[in-house]
Chain A
Amino acid sequence: MDAQHLNLIYLIIAAAVATFATRVGGYVLITQLKHIPPRLEAALNAVPAAVLTTLVAPAFVYGGFDVAASMFVAFAAGLRFSTLRMLLIGWIVVMVIRHLVL
Chain B
Amino acid sequence: MDRDEFRDGVRGGFPIMVAASPFGALFGALAVDNGFTIADAVFMSAMVYAGASQMVGIELFGNNVQPWLVVLSVFAVNFRHVLYSASIARNIRHFTPVQKFFAFFLLIDPQYAESERRAERGLPVSFSWYLGFGLIIYFPWLITTAIGAVFGQLIGDPRVIGIDVLLPIYFLGLVLGFRKRDRFLPVVAASAGASVLAMHFVGSPWHVSIGALAGVLLAACLPLERPASDIPAVEREA
Q: Is the CB of B191 within 8 A of A53?
A: yes
B70-112 vs A, Cβ < 8 Å mask (1 yes, 0 no): 1110110011111111111110000000001000110101001
What is the interface of chain B mostly: helix, strand, loop, or mixed? Answer: helix
Q: From known contacts A8-B61, A38-B224, infer whether A45 and B181 are also in contact, taking CB-CB under 8 Å.
A: yes
Q: How far is the CA of A39 from the CA of B225 in the complex (A)?
A: 11
Least CB distance, A16 to chain B, in whole angstroms: 4
Q: From known contacts A53-B215, A74-B172, A98-B162, infer whether A46 and B187 are also in contact, taking CB-CB under 8 Å.
A: yes
Q: Is B234's CB within 8 Å of the partner chain A?
A: no
Q: Is the CB of A53 within 8 A of B36?
A: no
Q: From known contacts A23-B81, A56-B171, infer whether A67 and B87 are also in contact, taking CB-CB under 8 Å.
A: no
Q: Is B43's CB within 8 Å of the partner chain A?
A: yes
Q: Is the CB of B175 within 8 A of A52?
A: yes
Q: Is the CB of A87 within 8 A of B169?
A: yes
Q: From known contacts A15-B71, A53-B175, A70-B169, infer whether A40 and B82 are also in contact, taking CB-CB under 8 Å.
A: no
The chain A residue with its CB closest to the CB of B49 is A19
What is the interface of chain A mostly: helix, strand, loop, or mixed? Answer: helix
Which of B121-129, B130-138, B139-147, B204-212 is the interface stretch?
Answer: B204-212
Q: Is B38's CB within 8 Å of the partner chain A?
A: no
Q: Is the CB of A78 within 8 A of B196?
A: no
Q: Which residues from chain A contact B210 at a C-beta distance below 8 Å?
A: 54
Q: Is the CB of B160 within 8 A of A12?
A: no
Q: Is the CB of A71 within 8 A of B172?
A: yes
A64-91 vs B, Cβ < 8 Å mask (1 yes, 0 no): 0001001100110011000110110011
Q: Is the CB of A47 within 8 A of B164?
A: no
Give chain B's interface residues, CB within 8 Å of chain A.
Answer: 15, 18-19, 36-37, 40, 43-44, 47-50, 53, 57, 61, 67, 70-72, 74-75, 78-90, 100, 104-105, 107, 109, 112-113, 116, 159-178, 181-184, 187-188, 190-196, 199, 204, 207-208, 210-222, 224, 227-229
A sample of 6 more A-B contacts (CB under 8 A), given A23-B84, A41-B229, A74-B165, is A14-B71, A41-B228, A44-B90, A62-B199, A71-B165, A87-B166
Give chain A's interface residues, CB within 8 Å of chain B.
Answer: 5, 7-16, 18-31, 36, 38-63, 67, 70-71, 74-75, 78-79, 83-84, 86-87, 90-91, 94-95, 98
